[in-house]
């Protein structure tokens, strides 16, 4: 009784007494509130049941998340079991239903226990814990807040294993710190893939040994004629490291045979007529093609793909294949099959936009559906898994509505509700859940020049795509999501990001 009185009498009424009202995004599978709270104190510790590098890394991540706004020490202790007043992280692979990214979170009045089969699952569960702290937790300086976590249990694991976003660093170049900020957003909402669009007509962004002009010339500009830029291999490795620390896989994309003007402008010999075109700073598409008849083209591709494979630990290599209007159809098909052999010889699985389905791919190759449902269906019938990125639903560069200055509108306007109200497994009747690897929302950057503009287009729509990838379609509901998003608005405010305040959301 005293405890109950304590709750109602506490003058600093904590944010929630009801775990089920915490408004977590993406929505967890199962939440059971017990109506009380766990009091975080200055001497609350993070305890880990294994002294492994992975667990120490995760505990360190938690500490650096919670230290700035709480001002507490967050000592990390290796101990077998949970103890009063502390947050215990534990790996115990005896919960097969959780899979490798699932977790079970128990918040009792006197302790917090986060359990998972693997570190990846702990990392996803930490994002949930982060959303149970009051929004002030996002601040960078100690806040005078009574840090209480609502009690109860959460059992959670993702629907799709591929939940990602693509960042186009070719149309406009973004320095490493902007890519890291992008990775932080993905991590916060339990996404696990960053697809980097590293080359296009307007720019080549990754240093390739033996082909220095790709970056010296191809990386020297961008849409609008700015100075462009590129990642050295060291900088690219730093991006990959930062992503891996957050259990996010990088998928590099070198778009080919089309979308290659930057490479063609850098090396005359890659052009069929041996003449290098000018660098291009406009926004047209479909006018460029590697010369598919020349052997040097395949030596070039081998060098690029082998070096990029070496630099990228993930299983995938994206070779683009979209809008190759300047490549003869039969040449295109021969080319894609030859590149597929190069990719698989490097031990990677090929990914490409849906046009590659015309090439009769190995069933292991993955097709990313963006525009061209017939090719998507052809891929599914061919046994290829699909990444669902339908442009009229998932393209983050689409304007919200006619008043949005940033972005494009060729695939239509995508307000926050339209971004949320669809599901990959019902998008096309011919494509079932078993054909789908997951979902990915691309940000093309023809009109995006800096982080603030990025934030405006990406947030809050990214949160909806994160939920589409993580939460079962049966639990998806716009009426429920929009209230959770409204509630989450405080957090976006505290993060200081330039998010779009849609009129459709009753922001708190
Ligand atoms: N389509 C092009 C992109 C970009 C996009 C802008 C794909 C696969 C239109 N290809 O989307 O390069 O220009 O919305």
Residue 91: domain span: 15-156
Question: Which CATH number do you get for residue 32?
Answer: 3.30.379.10
Q: Where does residue 457 rank: exposed (0-12), middle (13-18), buried (19+ CB within 10 A)?
A: buried
> Which domain-ending residue is among 106, 132, 156?
156
The angle subtended at Cα 103 by Cα 98 and Cα 105, nearest 5°, is 135
12 has pLDDT over 50: no
Judge if 145 and 248 occupy the same domain: no
Say how many domains are in the chain: 2
How many Å lie between the centroid of ligand 1 and the Cα of residue 442?
9
Q: Which whole number is the average pLDDT over 224-230?
A: 98
Distance 505 CA to ligand 1 centre (A): 29
Number of the ligand 1 atom closest to the C-alpha atom of 442: 11
Beta carbons within 8 Å of 496's beta carbon, 6+ residues apart: none
Q: Is residue 227 part of a domain?
A: yes
CATH code assigned at 466? 3.20.20.80
Task: Report the residue among 251, 255, 280, 285 best suited for mutation to probe ligand 1: largest number of ligand atoms under 8 A from its CB.
Answer: 285
Distance from the alpha carbon of residue 206 to the mean position of ligand 1, in angstroms = 20
The rounded distance, in Å, linking the Cα atoms of 37 and 382 is 53
Within this chain, do residues 274 and 149 fall inside the same structural domain, yes or no?
no
Percent of the chain clearing pLDDT 70 (strictly above): 97
pLDDT band at 360 (very low <50, low <70, confident <90, very high): confident
Ligand 1 centroid to 404 CA: how many Å?
19
Q: Which two tokens stand for residue 475?
A: 């639990």
Please say which residue of 124, 156, 188 terminates a domain: 156
pLDDT of residue 16: 58
Q: Is residue 492 part of a domain?
A: no
pLDDT over 60 (residue 11): no
DSSP per residue, 306-363: HHHHHH--SSEEEEE----TTS-HHHHHHHHHHHHHHHHHTT-EEEEEGGGGGG---T
Atom of ligand 1 nearest to the CA of 323: 10
> By alpha-carbon position, which residue is closest to atom 3 of ligand 1?
444
Determine what percent of the chain is predicted with pLDDT higher than 90: 96
pLDDT in tens, 479-492: 999 999 999 999 99
* pLDDT at position 94: 86
Query: Does residue 43 lie within any of the structural domains?
Result: yes
476 neighbors 467 (Cβ within 8 angstroms): yes
In a domain, 481, yes or no: no
Q: Is 370 in the pocket of ligand 1 (CB under 6 A)?
A: yes
In a domain, 147, yes or no: yes
Q: Is the pLDDT of residue 205 over 70?
A: yes
Residue 233's Cβ-count burial label (10 Å; 0-12, 13-18, 19+) is middle
What are the tokens at 226? 């700015």
3-state DSSP call for residue 196?
A: strand
Task: Give the number of residues written for the chain.
Answer: 508
Name the domain boundary from 156, 177, 211: 156
Q: Is the CB of 444 under 6 A from ligand 1?
A: yes
Q: Is the pLDDT of residue 7 over 80?
A: no
Residue 73, both tokens: 């020490």
- Protein residue with its CA nearest to atom 6 in ligand 1: 444
Active site residue 323: yes
280 in a domain, yes or no? yes
Residues 309 and 169 in one domain: yes
The whole-angstrom separation of Cα 120 and Cα 363 is: 28
In a domain, 489, yes or no: no
Whole-number Å distance, alpha carbon 492 to ligand 1 midpoint, is 28
> What would the pLDDT profile of 373-411 be if each residue is shown by its tens digit?
999 999 999 999 999 999 999 999 999 999 999 999 999
* 198/55 same-domain check: no
Specify whether 110 is located in the same domain as 190: no
Q: What is the pLDDT of residues 256-281, one digit of tens each?
A: 999 999 999 999 999 999 999 999 99
322 lines ligand 1 (CB under 6 A): yes
Please identify which of the residues 235, 245, 302, 323 carries the catalytic annotation. Answer: 323
- Mean pLDDT (whole number) for 185-206: 98
Identify whether residues 296 and 398 lie together within a single domain: yes
Average pLDDT over all residues of the chain: 96
The predicted-structure confidence for 51-71, as pLDDT tens digits, reads as follows 999 999 999 999 999 999 999
**Is the per-residue pLDDT at 5 higher than 50?**
no
For position 17, what pLDDT does the model report? 78
- Tell me: do 43 and 186 sit in the same domain: no
185 and 142 share one domain: no
Give this prediction's pTM. Answer: 0.96
């Amino acid at each position: 009784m005293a405890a109950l009185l304590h709750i109602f009498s506490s003058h600093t009424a904590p944010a929630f007494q009801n775990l089920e009202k915490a408004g977590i995004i993406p929505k967890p599978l199962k939440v059971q509130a017990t109506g009380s709270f766990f009091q975080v104190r200055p001497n609350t510790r993070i305890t880990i049941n294994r002294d492994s590098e992975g667990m120490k890394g995760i505990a360190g991540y938690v500490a650096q998340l919670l230290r700035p706004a709480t001002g507490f020490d967050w000592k990390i202790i290796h101990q077998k079991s949970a103890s009063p007043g502390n947050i215990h992280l534990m790996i115990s692979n005896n919960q097969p239903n959780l899979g490798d990214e699932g977790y079970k979170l128990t918040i009792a009045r006197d302790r917090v226990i986060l359990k998972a089969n693997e570190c990846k699952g702990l990392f996803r569960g930490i994002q949930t814990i982060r959303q149970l702290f009051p929004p002030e937790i996002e601040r960078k300086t100690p806040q005078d807040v009574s840090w209480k976590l609502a009690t109860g249990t959460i059992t959670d694991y993702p629907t799709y294993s591929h939940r990602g976003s693509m960042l186009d660093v070719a149309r406009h170049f973004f320095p490493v710190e902007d890519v890291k900020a992008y990775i932080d957003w993905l991590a916060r909402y339990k996404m696990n893939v960053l697809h980097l669009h590293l080359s296009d007509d307007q720019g080549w962004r990754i240093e390739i040994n033996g082909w220095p002009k790709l970056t010296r010339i191809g990386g020297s500009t961008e849409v609008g004629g700015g100075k462009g830029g590129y990642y050295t291999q060291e900088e690219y490795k730093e991006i990959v490291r930062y992503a891996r620390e957050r259990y996010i896989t990088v998928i590099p994309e070198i778009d080919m045979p089309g979308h290659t003007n930057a490479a063609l402008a850098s090396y005359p010999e890659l052009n069929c007529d041996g003449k290098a075109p000018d660098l291009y700073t406009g926004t047209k598409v479909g006018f460029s093609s590697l010369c598919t008849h020349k052997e040097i083209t395949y030596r070039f591709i081998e060098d690029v793909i082998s070096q990029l494979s070496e630099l990228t630990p993930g299983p995938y290599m994206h070779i683009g294949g979209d809008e190759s209007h300047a490549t003869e159809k039969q040449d295109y098909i021969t080319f894609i099959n030859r590149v597929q052999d190069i990719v698989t010889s490097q031990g990677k699985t090929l990914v490409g936009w849906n046009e590659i389905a015309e090439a009769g791919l190995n069933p292991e190759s993955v097709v990313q559906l963006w525009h061209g449902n017939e090719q998507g269906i052809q891929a599914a019938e061919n046994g290829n898994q699909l990444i669902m990125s339908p442009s009229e639903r998932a393209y983050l560069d689409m304007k919200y509505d006619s008043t949005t200055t940033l972005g494009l509108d060729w695939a239509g306007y995508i307000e926050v509700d339209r971004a949320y109200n669809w599901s990959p497994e019902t998008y096309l009747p011919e494509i079932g859940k078993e054909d789908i690897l997951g979902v990915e929302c691309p940000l093309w950057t023809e009109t995006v020049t800096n982080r603030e503009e990025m934030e405006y287009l990406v947030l809050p729509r990214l949160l909806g795509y994160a939920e589409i990838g993580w939460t079962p379609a049966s639990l998806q509901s716009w009426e429920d999501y929009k209230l959770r998003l409204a509630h989450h608005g405080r957090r976006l405010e505290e993060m200081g990001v330039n998010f779009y305040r849609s009129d459709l959301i009753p922001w708190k």
